Amino acid sequence: MQLIGDRPVYAATDLVGFLACEHLVGLELAAMRGLVDRPTRLDPEMDLIARRGLEHEARYLADLEASGVQVARIEAGPRDVPAAQRLAQLWTAAEATERAIKRGEEAVYQATFFDGRWLGLADFLLRVERPSSLGAWS
């Protein structure tokens, strides 16, 4: 969850958190608004897992491109910008994702889905040759 201006933008993890504990979302919102301190937890194992995940993602992207797969890269921009700019970045990234999907790109990296309230990010979308409303691919 992130606060962009005065409006919360939710992600899938927020929905999972809500289903596990409704109170958790209220605490997250309060922390974002500075009403309570977010508890910090230093966990070197989680840091290691996160770093390895990013390394794996970078290797997979490099392998895709080295094998000749055309990859559309979506840039959502930095998060630490003014709210209006951040919203514009997310809308632009979501529109670029939609265009790449409709063009039938072989792969889309950092696909962004955004409707103004919910944000979804996919590391990779891969085209499959199965007819859909897009054409001969899905």
Question: pLDDT for 77-102, tens place per residue?
Answer: 888 899 889 999 999 999 999 999 99
Whole-number Å distance between alpha carbons of 66 and 108: 15
For residue 125 the two structure tokens come to: 């979308």
Question: pLDDT for 6-16, tens place per residue?
Answer: 888 999 988 99
The contacts of residue 108 (CB under 8 Å, 6+ apart) are 71, 72, 74, 97, 100, 101, 122, 124, 125
Q: What is the model's pLDDT at position 8? A: 87
Helix (H) or strand (E) holding 125: strand 119-126
Confidence of residue 76 (pLDDT cuts 50, 70, 90): confident
Q: What is the model's pLDDT at position 68? A: 97
* 39 has pLDDT over 80: no
Whole-number Å distance between alpha carbons of 115 and 96: 14
Q: Where are the domains of the chain?
A: 68-138
Q: Is 104 left (phi over 0), alpha (psi -120 to 50) or beta?
A: left
Mean pLDDT across the chain, nearest whole number? 92
* pTM of the predicted protein model: 0.85
- Rounded average pLDDT over 20-35: 88
* 49 has pLDDT over 80: yes
* 137 has pLDDT over 90: yes
Q: What is the model's pLDDT at position 133? A: 94
